[in-house]
Structure 1
Amino acid sequence: MMANKWITFDCFGTLVDWRTGFATILRPLAGERTDALITAYHELERQLEQERPHRLYRDVLETGLARAAARIGLRLTGAQAEALSAGWDRQPVFADVEPALSNLRAAGWKLAVLTNCDVDLFDLTQGSFQQPFDLVVTAEQVKDYKPSLAHFLYFWRASGVKRRDWVHVACSWYHDIQPSREMDVRRIWVDRDRTGDDPTAATLRLEDVRALPEAVESVTTAKP
């Protein structure tokens, strides 16, 4: 019987290259202002995710893009404001991800995703991976967005995992490393963006996932 040991992942930014995907989707609309549009959207996304009542992520994408465009003086039609959700499956998986996932599965780990995304959008993303994840927890299911603990608590109950058998892996210090520290879970920070945030908040810091299987083996013998 397979041991009940789990690795949870943030998806976008950790496993999937959302920055490249967003740029590919938005460049036909924004041209030279694509980077400015993405920056404005990223700032507005956090605000929209904190509003109540809970917004579906598709609504966050469309409202956020429309407001970001207005902020930088770019006119978008209603259909153009749906560009991110319409092109969601165009976001590529990072090249270093599949070998790492394969090695982790071979070592007996179950793999889950905790994502600030809707069920239908993640279904599109799931198709970009070679194998489905064992468990997926979405913002739509928990009616909240990370850095809230809702995803983590839902996963903990659904999986029945013990903290000593759980490692969380993520790129976002704000959305994932901080809350997983609150949960007292071992956490590997994949600092792809070189943000300069406090590395001591994580059990271990990596710059990509090429050495993730070895890192997981290392941290599972360390105190969270």
Structure 2
Amino acid sequence: MLYPDVLGEAFRRTGAKLGYPVSSQEAAALGASVPEWPAFDDSEEALHRIKKHYQQIILSNVHRNGFAASNRRLGVDFDAILTAEDIGSYKPNPANFDALIARAKEMGHSGRLLHVAQSLFHDHAPAQRAGLPGVWINRRHDKPGWGATPDPRANIRPDLQFPTLIALATAVDQAFAESD
């Protein structure tokens, strides 16, 4: 299923479970809204800064059109983009991380990946199982709970942690400045 259809179905099921039926039109409107979703405020600047030092591969749970619309706002020239539509599954499915590793290998970066993500459940748990080091963008560092993502139900220990993507970009800039 494409991401808009998954969202619509999840919306219908959630509404039914809570006793608030969701119409087909409402479900379709939510699914169609994906291209309008904003990025985090720091994403555009941070991704551009990190891009000065590293190649970037996106591994996204959205569909091609949804990501393309988001990326028009970011304006980042990613080195590769892998969507759930391309892979045929959604994170945390291991197939997504297998596809990421295969694409990096095709690009000549075998064994040289650093997975950067927010969700411990969708990203860090399967990335660790795939043997990838990781940086957790812990946007909820000052809030309890998991927010919109499920509890990972595992002892996940990313290699590094930053409260925002811009904080990671600053650390990358500093590390390169020190090595000059």
TM range (shorter): 0.7 to 0.9
Secondary structure of the residue aligned to 1:202 is coil
Task: Give unpaired runs (5+ residues) of structure 2.
Answer: 147-151, 176-180
Aligned residues: 163
Equivalent position SS for 1:145: coil
CA RMSD of aligned residues (A): 2.4
Structure 1: state its 5+ residue gaps. Answer: 1-54, 220-224
SS in 2 for 1:128: helix
- Equivalent residue for 1:162? 110
TM-score (norm 2): 0.79
Residues 76, 148 of structure 1: alpha-carbon distance in 2 compared, 3 angstrom cutoff:
closer
Kindly report which structure 2 residues correspond to 1:12-31, keeping only aligned pairs within 5 A, or say none. Answer: none
C-alpha separation between the residues in 1 aligned to 2:20 and 2:35? 24
Q: Which AA in structure 2 matches 1:169?
A: V
1:206 is the counterpart of 2:162: yes
Aligned position for 1:57: 3
Contact (CA 8 Å) 2:8, 2:28: kept in 1 or not?
A: yes
- CA contact 1:97–1:209 (8 Å) conserved in 2: yes
Identical positions, percent:
28
- Tell me the alpha carbon deviations over residues 96-135 of structure 1, each in whole angstroms, 9 at most, x when there is no partner: 112211211112x111111112222222222221223221
Who is 2:68 aligned against? Answer: 123
* 8 Å Cα contact 1:167-1:216 kept in structure 2: no
Match of 2:55 in 1: 110
Q: CA deviation at 1:214?
A: 4.8
Displacement of 1:206: 1.4
Q: Residue type matched to 1:127 in 2?
A: R
User: Does the aligned pair in 2 maintain the 1:199–1:205 contact within 8 Å?
Assistant: no
- In structure 2, which of residues 32, 37, 54 is the aligned counterpart of residue 86 of structure 1? 32
Q: Once the two structures are superposed, what CA deviation does each residue of 1:49-104 show, in whole Å capped at 9, x if it has no partner?
A: xxxxxx33222111111111122222332111112222212211112112211211
Other structure's SS at 2:56 match: strand
**1:217 positional shift:** 7.7
Return the structure number with greater relative CO, CA threshold 8 A, min gap 6: 1
Q: Which amino acid aligns with 1:99?
A: E
Q: Is the 8 A contact 2:42 2:166 kept in 1?
A: yes
